[in-house]
Amino acid sequence: MVVDDHPMWRDAVERDLQAAGLEVVGVAANGQEALARFPAARPNVVVLDLQIPAPNGVEVTAEIVRQDPSVRVLILSASGEQSDVLDAVKAGATGYLVKSASREELLTAVRRVSQGDTVFTPGLAGLVLGEYRRLSDGPEKTDDGTPQLTERETEVLKMVAKGMSYKQIAERLVLSHRTVQNHVQNTLRKLQLHNRVQLTRYAIEQGLDADDD
């Protein structure tokens, strides 16, 4: 399902997906249309712009994930702002691309997200990883009840930030695909539990490239 309020962009994405052999089961121009059409369309993946007429992309993400936890949301936005990326992840998005991405990057991201991978534009992955690291390593990690990350979760997420697929990570670490997926989902859940004000402040301080590898 493709959701974007710009007809030319929406049509182009739909054509690219169909040309690649993917079935587009629905399109929408705003949040209201998206929520109205989602139950009947039952898409596996929703390619969603954030800046759409109300409800916005973050609110749509939260609602459709609530309705169907198995759905995969890939944000395709002109914005690479820290707050937008983190809000989308906290709402349940498992992918985030900026609109400067190429056609091939979009198609690859849709396929990977549909398989359960978490996909970010590289610089944005560093931002999210930076917050995971702070949760894992920060001295105040136990003061506010924030769940800590395990060493393995941190290791997996470093690889996610580098753009590696779950399959590649599983092979590198000699783990099953399901185990890798569970590590990432557990960490996303932990991030959602964190105080948003502290999260946003830290993200702004760190910038987008928090990965020091």
- Token pair for 125: 């992955």
pLDDT score recorded for residue 157: 74
pLDDT score of 40 more than 50: yes
At 74, is the secondary structure helix, strand, or coil? strand
Q: How far is CA 60 from CA 14, 52, 129, 188, in A?
A: 19, 10, 24, 18
Class of the CATH domain delimited by 122-213: mainly alpha
Span(s) in the chain for CATH 1.10.10.10: 122-213
CATH number for the domain running over 1-120: 3.40.50.2300
Report the b/e string of 66-96 with b at 16+ CB within 10 A: eeeeebbbbbbbebbbbebbbbbbbbbbbbb
Mean pLDDT of 92-102: 88
Which of residues 213 and 80 earns the better pLDDT score?
Answer: 80
Question: Rounded to an integer, what distance in angstroms lies between the CA atom of residue 164 and that of residue 14?
Answer: 26
Q: What is the pLDDT of residues 154-210, one digit of tens each?
A: 788 777 767 777 888 889 999 888 888 788 777 766 665 444 444 444 444 544 334
pLDDT score recorded for residue 189: 66
CA 144 to the chain's CA centroid? 25
Mean pLDDT of 44-65: 94
- Residue 26 has a CB neighbour count (10 Å cut-off) of 18
Q: What is the pLDDT of residues 122-152, one digit of tens each?
A: 666 666 666 656 655 544 444 555 556 678 8
